[in-house]
Structure 1
Amino acid sequence: MPTDARATAAAILPLVGGPANVTSVACCMTRLRLGLADPSLVDEPALRALPGVLGLVVADGTYQVVLGPGVVTRVTAAFEELAARPAAVAPPTRSTGERPAARGAELREARRRRNATPVKTGLRRVAAVFVPLIPALIGCGVLAGVGGLLTNAGLLPGLTPALAAVASAFMALIAVFVGVNTAKEFGGTPVLGGAVAAIVVYPGVTKVTAFGVTLSPGQGGVLGALAAALLAAYVERWCRGRVPDALDVLLTPTVTVLVAGLATLYGLMYAAGAVSSAIGTAADRLLETTGAFAGLVLGGLFLPLVMLGLHQALIPIHTTLIDQQGSTALLPILAMAGAGQVGASLAVYVRLRHDTSLRTTIRSALPAGLLGVGEPLIYGVSLPLGRPFLTACVGGAAGGAFVGFFAMLGNQVGATAIGPSGWALFPLLSGTQGWGPAFGVYAGGLLTGYAVGFAVTYLFGVTDRVRGADRSAGS
């Protein structure tokens, strides 16, 4: 474990209330996600000021410490190790003299509970099901792209079938992994969730008829698996409170699999299949008829979703499209938001030539931004300055409109996996007219996002106040 990762974790832990205050630890590609027993114990100013902390997002009671790609994995491992140790001292408490502050914290918590609507909470929990699958989606997607290129070029014919098997096996059984994660997230036994979700991809479902239609393996896809495992979790929890302890080990799993399994075969697979087909049809029709406008809106709004951590709620849609069509046409458009962010940051770098600290931040965060990880630039550059965040959204909207326009012309670009963005998405591209045209459209979208984000930020994104502070810093 690198020393700096352990030091960062050790610095974060007391600022979030110590080990006794941490109820859950998880991470995504860039963020350390913490569940806290008492969020009011967090020292937010000190946490934001820590070296290596790029930002802090509070969403539905989960504290998300933005650390950046790569480093977040090491810090999370160190944090989990430290948080699991018995606390040397008691966690911070409020004294009688702190009653006004305590009352303020209670009011903030009450407001948070009002804002934690069932829809937002549900989206966050569904996202938690799919986030752990992203590494496998990335790895298999890259291998699928490499295999496709080798096949098209007629190279290594003896290797391409093996690559296809390695890349496709996970997607063939992704429903099982979704089931395991769903049961884990919603309080069920993971293996029971996986067992019920496995019905969705079992070849024997062809012998079952529901609503007058013979079922087919994979019908309903990941949405069917999600619904099946969710039902299994609720059935299992219902059984736990009613079955005698002596019979629990026998009856609870049997009833869970039976009830959820039959419901999956005679309802959920059919319904989820209809929803999955509707998602695919709607995405195709949206891009074919209003591609430029749709790209403008999607590319322009994605950065705020990333800032709020709500972009993870799109993962089930991406996964459904990949499972159903082999690629998601939405991801290349959404990736344009990162291009606008890069262009805006470059403009700030040029305009504020005396701000050594900010320029150093941009230089260090730019490589990640070019690879599609925009959070270091968001929290380190554009969001603190204010207006550059809005002009970056304009750049993303322009890039999205560019990609969407070509979709209207019949050259729809898709991604065979989710996770990477920016330059890192090139190996995962596919298109209705082949990889070459898809490469060209996506590259054109990135260049458009860079150029528009730079130009709009250079002209309108840096205020007189910021420029005055820059000159003062250089004098």
Structure 2
Amino acid sequence: MGKYESDAKQLLSALGGADNITSFMHCATRMRFVLKDDAKANKAAIEKIGAVRGMFTNAGQFQVIIGNEVPDFYHDFTTVSGLSGASKEATKAAAKTHQNVIQRAVATLAEIFTPLLPAIIVGGLILGFRNILEGVQFGGATIVEQSQFWAGVNAFLWLPGEAIFHFLPVGITWSITRKMGTTQILGIVLGITLVSPQLLNAYAVSSTAASKIPFWDFGFAQVNMIGYQAQVIPAMLAGFMLVYLERFFRKHIPQAISMIFVPFFSLLPTILVAHVVLGPFGWWVGDGLSAIVNAGLTSNFSWLFGLAFGLLYAPVVITGLHHTTLAIDAQLISTYGSTNLWPMIALSNIAQGSATLAVAIAHRGNKQEEGISVPATISAYLGVTEPAMFGINLKYVYPFIAAIIGSGIAGMFVTIMGVRAYSIGVGGLPGILSIVGQFIGVFAIGMVIAVAVPFVLTFVLRKVPALNKIEAVDDATGAIIDEDEAPATQPLAMDAESVQFDYLYAPTTGQVMPLAAVPDQVFAQNMMGEGFAVDPQDGHINSPVVGTVTSVFDTKHAIGIRMQNGLEVLVHMGLDTVALKGAPFTVHVQPGDAVDPSVTLAVMDIAAVKAAGHSTEVIVVITNSDRLDEFKLLATGAHKMGDEIAAAKTAEMSEQATGSAVAPAL
């Protein structure tokens, strides 16, 4: 009988039986299921299974967190279920069929724009800085008018700014071919044909008389030579046509001549149709969509649109639907030269950060939570809200409510005042760089609203029991019982100095961060246990603890270690790197080896992991954190391999220090 046979049987039953499972597989820490009917999954029963650490649904997959012994659980599950697992790719494909049309469309849109985000953010910063140089006046003249040096800098910065936004169609067509698994260089070439200097620049079309627009003359027909700089929808339509033509011809052209004829018959027709049909149609659709959004945000009911968007943007981020706003923002800028949507997004970022800051102040002295809340606040103020939302605000609920109320009020204010942004990509406090010059002062007031309202409301709503799902509330007064205000019936706290801690060390040199900052909700929400992460400078990974190697995952990306105090530590190299099947990893240890921070566990080829599209964070997590009496994250930021990063104390250590077991709270 397998170790997890009983738990596997319970999970099979709780999932609705074998007939309800379409596909399943496992990675380093979790079982991933695609179910025919998610409603048949009995979540309450699953939570009671001993081996289960947590569960959530994401991208059409029902994921059950097991821990670093998931390979054994997987083996027992296949035995008791009589089913065969599938590859990660097959499970992902099955998950997509499990999604509705809207979910698949949003997922596709997200996968297209996500690789472009670094460039869009850099471009937004550049254009924002140029906005200040050209638009802000000192003594009656702009900076570029007063200084030849800054005039030169401004002119130079147009080069990368133009490359990013004017040539955005090249990035879109490349990203589509990358996402759909077709020839990426053909996507790049297609994008270039949409923005070629030989074409009339899209920005000049409206000011050019129809008789002056150049054209290709085919004798029986003429086609306008118009470029599609910064146009999103024409590029997407052309990119998908190229993908499906290539797929078609690869199926019907013999392999011996496919290298010649597949690109030829895929690319040339797409270019022609893009300029004759898809480009003009996409431009028309984009202008129509922009007109609808802009009309709503400039109408007599603009305050309502601004309030609704401000209230709903953060909840939409949770679903992933917020990626659709990138395409709308880009189209608004292409059509009108600026967008009235992006300012509200920047304010929503600020509001989430302000609520998290209030929680950090309310819980000051809690070192473990400060290690999450403080970096999360900074991250949100710089435009990345996921650590704040998932690590703090959604956990407590009341700060999330305070944040969306503040975001709604700030969004309503800037919409009424007609605030617009020249560019996108720069969120949070730096978002002011992208604001049209005449609106900078008004936007600054909106920023004050986004800071002050969520901050104050967080303290107010903290005392509303219905909105506070974590902190203890006095039933008689409704007041919060802080951790440092424990009632007399609680046992006296032990002297911290009397209890010995075991330390966890940096496994590699790099930026140390709390788990809440990791872009994976399993680790970020501590479903696997307490720990920390390191964004590595190089690929040498040493042991973070003194202990014995218990397991090396088949795909080499995860290694389990048991400390002398019984704590189980998982060293997980990169995110979702199970799909790389061990290629970027060279492991130097095996089960049974004694290790300490001077011992190299493995070497990770960082360049190869990044080239495959995966994050390289090294995660150190205590998978049996239920045995912890206390865990302290001692340091974050830049650290060298071997630096002390965290301290752990088990309940057994506490008992040994006091000579008896700690009495349960009454």
TM interval, short-chain normalised = 0.7 to 0.9
For 2:421, what is the secondary structure of its paired residue? strand
SS state at 2:414 partner: helix
- State how far apart, in whole Å, the 1-side matches of 2:72 and 2:271 are: 47
Match of 1:468 among 469, 473, 494: 473
Partner of 2:447: 446
The answer to whether 1:277 aligns with 2:287 is: yes
Separation in 2, partners of 1:123, 1:111: 17
Is contact 1:59–1:309 with CA below 8 Å preserved after alignment? no
Structure 1: gaps spanning 5 or more residues? 1-11, 22-42, 49-55, 66-88
Q: Matches of 2:268 and 2:389 in 1, distance apart? A: 48
Distance in 2 between residues matched to 1:333 and 1:294, nearest whole Å: 11
User: Per-residue CA shift, 1:304-354, capped at 9, x if unaligned?
Assistant: 121222212222222223344443321111222223323333443455567
Report whether the alignment pairs 1:125 with 2:108.
Answer: yes
Change (3 A) 1:266 1:100: same
Relative to 1, partners in 2 of residues 1:356 and 1:467: Cα closer, same or farther, differing over 3 Å? farther
Q: Residues 391-450 of structure 1, C-alpha deviation per residue, up to 9 Å, x if partnerless?
A: 32111111111111101xxxx3214132x31112122x232xxx1x42222221121122
2:28 is the counterpart of 1:14: yes
Equivalent position amino acid for 2:126 in 1: L
- The amino acid of 1:15's aligned partner reads T
C-alpha distance in 2, partners of 1:102/1:234?
A: 32
Greater alpha carbon shift after TM alignment, 210-219 vs 224-233: 210-219
Structure 1 residue 57: Cα displacement: 7.3
Measured after TM superposition, the shift of residue 232 of structure 1 is: 0.6
Inter-CA distance 135–111: structure 2 relative to 1 (3 Å threshold): closer
CA distance in 1, matches of 2:440, 2:472: 38
d(CA) in 2 for partners of 1:270 and 1:113? 31
Q: In 1, are the aligned partners of 2:173 and 2:191 still within 8 Å (CA)?
A: yes
| SS state at 1:188 partner | coil
Kept in 2: contact 1:344–1:457 (CA 8 A): yes
Q: The residue matched to 1:303 in structure 2 has which SS? A: helix
- Distance of aligned partners of 1:194 and 1:350 in 2 relative to their CA distance in 1, 3 Å threshold: closer
**What is residue 400 of structure 1 aligned with on the other side?**
411
Query: Which of the residues 429, 433, 436 maps onto 1:423?
Result: 429
Pick the aligned partner of 2:298 from 277, 288, 299.
288
Q: TM (normalized to structure 2)?
A: 0.53
User: Equivalent residues in 2 for 1:93-172 (5 A)?
Assistant: 93-95=75-77, 98-99=80-81, 116-151=99-134, 152-153=142-143, 154=145, 155=147, 156=149, 157-172=151-166
For 1:188, give the aligned amino acid: T
Tell me the equivalent position of 1:250: 260
1:61-460 counterparts in 2 under 5 A?
A: 61=61, 92-95=74-77, 98-99=80-81, 116-151=99-134, 152-153=142-143, 154=145, 155=147, 156=149, 157-205=151-199, 206-208=214-216, 214-218=224-228, 221-289=231-299, 290-352=301-363, 357-407=368-418, 412-418=419-425, 420-427=426-433, 429-431=434-436, 435=437, 437-460=438-461
Deviation at 1:299, TM superposition (A): 0.9
Distance 1:305 1:259, change over 3 A: same
- Structure 2 CA distance for partners of 1:338 and 1:171, relative to 1, 3 Å: closer
Higher share in strand: 2
Q: Distance in 2 between matches of 1:303 and 1:240?
A: 43
**Shift in CA distance, 323/458, structure 1 to aligned 2, threshold 3 Å:** same
Contact 2:354 2:452 in 1 (8 A): yes
1:37 matched residue in structure 2: none
1:86 corresponds to which residue? none
Count of residue correspondences? 396
- The one-letter amino acid paired with 1:417 is I
Q: Letter of the 1:439 partner, please give it.
A: I
Helix, strand or coil at the partner of 1:473: coil
- Bigger Cα displacement from structure 2, 326-335 vs 196-205: 196-205
Distance in 1 separating the partners of 2:97 and 2:402: 32
Distance 1:348 1:110 in 2: 40
Q: Report the AA paired with residue 59 of structure 2.
A: A
Between the aligned partners of 2:189 and 2:263, the Cα distance in structure 1 is 10
Task: Give the counterpart letter for 1:240 in structure 2.
Answer: R
Distance 1:336 1:209 in 2: 50
CA–CA separation in structure 2 for the residues paired with 1:186 and 1:393: 36
2: CA distance, partners of 1:230 / 1:126? 12
Counterparts of 2:96 and 2:281 in 1: how far apart (Å)? Answer: 33
Computed over aligned residues only, the root mean square deviation of the Cα atoms, in angstroms, reads 3.7
Unaligned runs of 5+ in 2: 1-25, 33-49, 66-70, 86-90, 135-141, 200-213, 475-479, 487-666
| Inter-partner Cα distance in structure 1 for 2:335 and 2:457 | 38
Change (3 A) 1:90 1:202: farther
> CA offset at residue 252 of structure 1?
0.9
Looking at CA atoms only, which structure, 1 or 2, has the larger radius of gyration?
2
- Residues 21-61 of structure 1, C-alpha deviations (whole Å, 9 max, x = no match): 9xxxxxxxxxxxxxxxxxxxxx997589xxxxxxx872344
Mark the CA change 1:292 to 1:354 in structure 2 (over 3 Å): closer, same or farther: same
| Alignment deviations for residues 247-293 of structure 1 (CA, whole Å, 9 cap, x no partner) | 21221111101221221121101101101212332233222113221
Provide the C-alpha distance between the structure 1 equivalents of 2:97 and 2:247, rounded to a whole number of angstroms: 27
The alpha carbon displacement at 1:467 in A equals 4.3
Distance 1:463 1:110, change over 3 A: farther
CA–CA distance in structure 2, aligned partners of residues 326 and 278 of structure 1: 15
TM-score by length of 1: 0.73
Q: CA deviation at 1:296?
A: 0.6
CA distance in 1, matches of 2:343, 2:153: 29
* Partner Cα separation in structure 2 for residue 215 and residue 265 of structure 1: 8
Superposed CA deviations along residues 43-93 of structure 1, whole A, max 9, x for unmatched, are 997589xxxxxxx87234498x9xxxxxxxxxxxxxxxxxxxxxxx89943
- Amino acid aligned to 2:75: T
How far 1:109 sits from its partner (Å)?
10
Aligned equivalents of 1:227 and 1:159: distance in 2?
36
Cα 1:91/1:292, change in 2 over 3 Å: same
2:75 counterpart SS class = coil
One-letter code aligned to 1:121: R
Q: Compute the displacement of 1:377 (Å).
A: 1.6
**Deviation digits for residues 336-383 of structure 1, max 9, x if unmatched?**
222332333344345556766445532332211222222112112111
Which residue of 2 is the match for residue 69 of structure 1? none
SS at match of 2:435: strand
Higher relative contact order (CA 8 A, sep 6+): 1
